[in-house]
Structures are given as C-alpha cells and as structure tokens.
Amino acid sequence: MRPDPFPPDDAPAPWAEPPAAALPPPTRPLAPRKGRGTVQQPLPRHQAWQREPVDDGWGLPDDEPPPVRRPPEPVEPVEPAARDEPEALPADDAAVDPAADAAVPLRPASPVAPEPADAPAAEPPGPRTTLHPVRVRRMLSSNDSPDVPFSLSLNPYRGCEHGCIYCYARPSHAWLDRSPGLDFETEIEVKTNAVERLREELARPGHRPSPINLGAVTDPYQPAERIWRLSRGLLELLVETGHPFTIVTKGAGIVQDLDLIARAAALGRAAVSISITTQDPRLARLLEPRASAPNARWAAVRRLAEAGVPVAVNAAPIIPFLNEPEIERIAAQAAAHGAVALHYTVLRLPREVAPLFRQWLQDHVPERAERIMARLQSMRGGRDNDSDFRHRMHGEGPWAALIAQRIEQAAARHGLARRLPRLDCSGFRPPAPPPRRRAAAQDAAQVELF
C-alpha cells in the first residue's frame, strides 16, 4: 500500500525522531559469568580498526543480540614432551578410585519430575580456555624501576587463567592483538621453549647473576602449569646452575616444586611471596575466580615455611572498603603460618583495567562503587591511575599514609619484616652452552663436499 501523498497536518514529519516507546531498549552490559573475572571484551588499543553497533533508526529484532567481537579460532595445542614427573591430577585435584565407586550400592532410578514451565533457564557453558603453544626468542626481561625489588624476571605464560579482575598485566595482552578482558583469561600463550632459551641466556659470557623473579607479570602456577610443567623445568635449570630466584604466586600448586625450592633455599638462593588478597572465600571467588582458595594459599605458606623457605605474604592489592579492613587479620595469620615478611600494594588501574574494574564494581558491589573509586582517586592524584615511580605502588596523600602506617604497625606487632632476606649470587655456575644448530649444519654441508 502506498503512503498517503497528502498526510494530515498533525502527522509527524518523516525526519522527526520516533517516540520513546518505538525506540529499541538500550543494550545492557553482559551479565557476569561464574568462574571468570570479566566477560567484557575491550578491543586491543593497538588495533587499527574497530566495529561498534550503530542504530540507524530501524532498531534490532528482540531475539537478535547486538553484534559482538568474536575471538580468533582456537588452535589445537601440541602435546608437550613426556617428562619424568607424575601425571597431573584431575581438575579438582582429587584422585579417582574405581574401587570406591564399585563399593557404593546403586539405587534404582527414580522418575524425574518435569521442570515447571517458569523454571529459570540453565546458564550456558562459559568460554573454554585455549592454550596456544608459541616459541620465543628470549626469556629474561630486565628493568631498572626504582620501586621493583628485582632487575631480572621471566614469565613462562602470556595471559593468566586466574582471571583476577584487578590484574595490572591485562593491558599486556593488547600487544598480542587480543582483548585485555576475557581474552586475557581464556587465550593463554605457552612458551614451549622457555627452558631452552633460558639455558642459552644463562650460558652467555656477559650474564651477571641477579635474583630472577618468576611471576612478575602472569602467575607461573596457573592451571596451565598442571599440563606443561614449564615452571618446574625453569626451576630445575636454576637449581642446577646455582642461580638465585624468587617466586610470586597465588597458586597453591607451588608446593609440587617444594623439593627444588627448599634445596635452593637451604643455600640462600630462593624466596617466595604468596599473594593473599582476602580471607573471605566468597570475595576471593569474585575477585580471583580461578586462583587457589585462601585456605589453600595459607596451607602453602605453612608448608614452605616448615621446609625452611623464606616466605612473605603479599597483602595485595589493597582495595578501600573491600579488603582494606582485613589488613591486621592478614598480618596475624601470616605470622601464625610461619611467614617472615609482609608486603603490600594499593590497587592500580592502568589502561583497560580501569573500565573493567568499574564494571565489576557495578556488577558485584554497586552500593560501594562510588566510595571505592573516590578513595582510590584520592590516593592517585584525582585520577584512576598514576604511573609515577615514586608512589604508583603505595599511593600518596593522607589515606595512603594511613594504610602504610597500619601495615607498619601490624608487621611490627607480629614480628614480620618488611623485606625478604638477600639472596646469595656467588654460587652461580654457567650451564654448558647449547650446540649451535647453524654451525652443525654448516659442518655437515662441508663434509658432504668430500
């Protein structure tokens, strides 16, 4: 049917905005997903193009979701070479005993009642983690930051499945053309030749031994370590060469390498920092959905201390009005479990971490979101983040000074130092240099000439 060429005088003009009832409802943010720190997918900041949903006046059908950025197709990981260590435990760390199942009497199946029509729909399965094997040119990273207590570090994995919403390493995933949001937790790169490259770097004549930190960016004991065992391979090389090292982790799986760590600690060449953000398991599940539970981390602190390993508890990051009231309780538990030092940092929100954390606050603690951000900004010069070396770790202003005073008093009350002891670098012995493949190939070519 053709439109009326002579519409009435009171008819709206064709260019007029439609009434509010005719407009499509605004798109709501994605709902949080159990087991993931975030479901948001901010585009990598180095990407030259981006797509955004645009309403051209026609709206979207009710049953059609807005367009979203799709992650790249997963690559099937290559099975790692067989090692002498025992096989990794199942995902729930519990051994399966077939005899136990056989001993349980089976009951006849009971009829299943049909679900009511108004029953809530089951939550769809979350995105799976994909491990991408990669080969790297080098492993050691150096820094001269005055607020970082080490100059050398290495990370066997890029990305971290722990999914801590506050992780300052999230922006580094943008360099891989992946999102610092959900991709950081689900698209993990595994440096399969990590041990080989580290051996080459330690064998160089110009290498000067200095404590190497494992876990400065991503956690060396995240779930991927159960499969690849790269952190153990690196520790084996460091112990073999007598090189000092430190470890920072939230993973209770560190106790699987206690034999290597204790051997190095007995010679003054190893120390460990266990990060414990909160003792509340419900809050930990929201902040760090796939990291070890707080009680498992406390058990790891005790086992390391009993084995003679210097252990520090890292109460980090301190988030005002969220885990900040637990400072004194964490210090008391650290001393009770055998720790020798207490560290802390105030929450940092670099680049893409700030909007992700703001959305997390709205999802989980909306009643405290404004207070938390206001207090954080008061310690960051009125901004979400301050990268100044002088106070990026601990903040500035009266509230930052108050937190520092509470940390100092809690540490003194329980006999905790503020730093781990110095490590011995005098026992380092360079490994045998690896054979040069290019020289071997050239020799073989020369032999063929004869």
- The yes/no answer on whether domain 135-413 falls in CATH 3.20.20.70 is yes
Run of H or E including 321: none
- Cβ 423 vs Cβ 267: under 8 Å: no
Q: Which two tokens stand for residue 194?
A: 């990590």
Q: Which of 149, 229, 134, 241 is nearest to 198 (CA)?
A: 241
Three-state SS at 134: strand
Q: Where are the domains of the chain?
A: 135-413
pLDDT of 40: 79
Whether omega before 32 lies within 30 degrees of 0, making that bond cis, reads no
pLDDT score recorded for residue 295: 96
Provide the H-helix boundaries in 5-158.
98-103
pLDDT at 182: 92
Task: Give dist(CA 234, CA 190) in Å, integer.
Answer: 13
Distance in angstroms (rounded) separating the CA atoms of residues 269 and 64: 59
Residues 130 and 161: their CA atoms lie apart, in Å, by 10
- d(CA 71, CA 50) in angstroms, rounded, equals 13
Question: What pLDDT is recorded for position 11?
Answer: 53
CB 37 within 8 A of CB 186: no
Q: Specify the 3-state DSSP secondary structure of 311.
A: strand
Handedness of CA 369, 370, 375, 380 (dihedral sign): positive
Query: Is the pTM value of this prediction over 0.85?
Result: no
> Using CA atoms, how far apart are residues 314 and 339, in angstroms rounded to an integer?
10
Regions of the chain where pLDDT drops below 70: 1-30, 45-126, 434-450
| CB-based contacts of 360-368 (< 8 A; 24+ apart in sequence) | 360/32, 360/37, 360/38, 360/165, 360/286, 362/29, 363/29, 363/31, 363/32, 364/32, 364/286, 365/322, 368/321, 368/322
What pLDDT shows up at residue 448?
Answer: 56
